[in-house]
């Protein structure tokens, strides 16, 4: 089995396990204490200019109960005078879990270091029919600086609305999707280097 087929097989198995585990959690009795339920974040990447889906990853979280309708994220942004960084954590209190990290370079090009790799778009099974449109209020934008952002919510959603994993999460979760823009080339940077990232919790 070649490496590409093997990676696809492994990731598909992870997706299947994710769905089975999530379904099992949904089968709990209404009166059962649901504190400290193991969670998984779905991280999806969409190109800033084309809004094409470019891959994603599952991020395992320590057991934690989120009672809010938004993700409890902690953002650590170091503005680049030369080299800066953007780190995003899921606040599980003790300890917080890193879900994204990337460098920001002034008049240069940084890179994402976590997750180190993303699964290929072709590794994500598709729905038989795309999901319907969602309102922009279903997204919680993560602002980390004062730079203006032009957000085409419909186009970003179009990039992921046919993914099976998005359909599953949206059908079982009431938590809003978190959305942030990663600009590895800062200053007068090239928008062709930029990407939107969407975080969904189940």
Q: What is the pLDDT of residue 31?
A: 37
The predicted pLDDT at position 36 comes to 59
Domain ranges within the chain, ordered by starting residue: 3-201
The pLDDT of residue 53 is: 98
29 Cβ contact partners less than 8 Å away, ≥ 6 residues apart:
none
| 137 membership: H or E segment, kind and range | none
Name the maximum alpha-carbon separation found in the chain.
Answer: 56
Q: What tens digit of pLDDT does each residue of 14-66 get?
A: 555 555 444 444 444 343 334 556 778 999 999 999 999 999 999 988 877 88
pLDDT score for 28: 42
First to last CA, the chain: 32
pLDDT of residue 60: 87
Burial class (CB in 10 A: 0-12, 13-18, 19+), 198: buried
Residue-wise burial string across 92-123, b where 16 or more C-beta atoms lie within 10 A, e elsewhere: beeebbbbbbbbbbbeeebebeebeebbebeb
Residue 105, both tokens = 């370079």
Sign, CA dihedral 129-135-138-143, equals: positive
Beta strands 177-182 and 139-141 are: parallel
Q: Is the dihedral of CA 12, 18, 20, 26 positive or negative?
A: negative
Low-confidence spans in the chain with pLDDT less than 70: 1-37, 94
Residue closest to 133 by CA, chosen among 113, 150, 153 = 153
Let me know how long the chain is. 202
CB contact at 8 A, 185 and 195: no
CA distance 198 to 202: 13
């Amino acid at each position: 089995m070649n490496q590409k087929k093997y990676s696809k097989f492994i990731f598909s198995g992870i997706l299947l396990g994710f769905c089975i585990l999530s379904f099992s959690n949904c089968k709990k009795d209404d009166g059962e204490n649901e504190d400290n339920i193991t969670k998984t974040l779905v991280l999806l990447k969409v190109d800033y200019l084309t809004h094409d889906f470019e891959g994603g990853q599952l991020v395992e979280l320590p057991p934690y109960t989120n009672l809010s309708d938004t993700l409890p994220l902690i953002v650590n942004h170091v503005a680049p005078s030369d080299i800066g960084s953007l780190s995003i954590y899921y606040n599980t209190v003790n300890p917080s879990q890193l879900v994204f990290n990337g460098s920001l370079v002034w008049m240069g090009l940084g890179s994402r270091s976590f997750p180190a790799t993303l699964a290929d778009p072709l590794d994500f099974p598709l729905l038989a029919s795309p999901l319907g449109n969602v309102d922009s209020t279903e997204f919680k934008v993560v602002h980390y600086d004062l730079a203006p952002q032009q957000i085409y919510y419909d186009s970003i959603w179009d990039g992921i609305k046919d993914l099976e994993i998005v359909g599953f999460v949206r059908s079982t979760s009431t938590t809003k999707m978190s959305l942030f823009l990663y600009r590895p080339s800062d200053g007068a940077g090239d928008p062709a280097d930029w990407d939107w990232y969407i975080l969904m919790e189940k």
